[in-house]
Amino acid sequence: MLCKSPKIDTAAGHWQAVLSDLVLLTSRDTGDAARLSRFREELHRCFDLVERRQMTVAEVCRKMSIGKTTYYRYWRKVKSAPHRERHTELFEELQAKIEANELSISAACRQMNIGAGTYYRMRDQYKKEHGVPNVPNSE
């Protein structure tokens, strides 16, 4: 940066702070950034209200003038859903119960917290590793 007065040292820390503040004040984008910041703060408050069931998603969308897709896009960024804990270590025990017709596949999937597709992939892998012939279950 050039300064008209030769007595001002623009390299000094104090002047660097002053000059950076001047740049912020004179830039045109500060209004948009501040507006976006207020929007996000208000949206975070609305997320909390929805979580406490004091407001619905539809009410938030009307208030903030956004669509549900936008609401959930911001929500996923802020409040990422916790990952489901899987209990695949129970597979062999539950597989034995399934083969003995003591337990259904859907019940085993619920206990392991996995989908049916995941179960069938695990079953196929288990059969390959243990040399079990691929005989279809009588379900």
State residue 28's pLDDT score: 55
State residue 93's pLDDT score: 92
Query: Is 5 a domain residue?
Result: no
Query: Is 73 a domain residue?
Result: yes
Reported as type and span, the H/E element at residue 51 is helix 30-51
Q: Are residues 67 and 100 in the same domain?
A: no
Q: Are residues 66 and 34 in the same domain?
A: yes
CA distances from 108 to 26, 72, 124 (A): 64, 32, 16
Query: Is 15 a domain residue?
Result: no
Q: Are residues 101 and 72 in the same domain?
A: no
Q: What is the DSSP letter of 133?
A: -
Series of mean pLDDT values for 10-residue runs along the chain (139 residues): 57 62 62 71 88 92 91 81 74 92 93 90 90 62
CB 88 within 8 A of CB 112: yes
Query: Is 69 a domain residue?
Result: yes
Q: In whole angstroms, give the CA distance from residue 1 to residue 11.
A: 9
Q: Are residues 34 and 68 in the same domain?
A: yes
Query: Is 23 a domain residue?
Result: no
Q: Are residues 70 and 102 in the same domain?
A: no
State residue 40's pLDDT score: 82
State residue 15's pLDDT score: 60
3-state secondary structure of 87: coil
Q: Are residues 72 and 53 in the same domain?
A: yes
Query: Is 74 a domain residue?
Result: yes
> Among 32, 42, 6, which residue's Cα sits nearest to residue 24?
32
Structural domain including 96 reads 88-130
Q: Are residues 96 and 121 in the same domain?
A: yes
Q: Are residues 99 and 66 in the same domain?
A: no
> Among 77, 81, 82, which residue's Cα sits nearest to residue 44?
77
CA 73 to chain centroid, in Å, comes to 9
Query: Is 61 a domain residue?
Result: yes
Instruction: Quote the number of domains for the chain.
Output: 2
Q: Are residues 73 and 34 in the same domain?
A: yes
CB 61 within 8 A of CB 47: no
- What tokens does 55 get? 């407001």
Query: Is 9 a domain residue?
Result: no
State residue 43's pLDDT score: 86
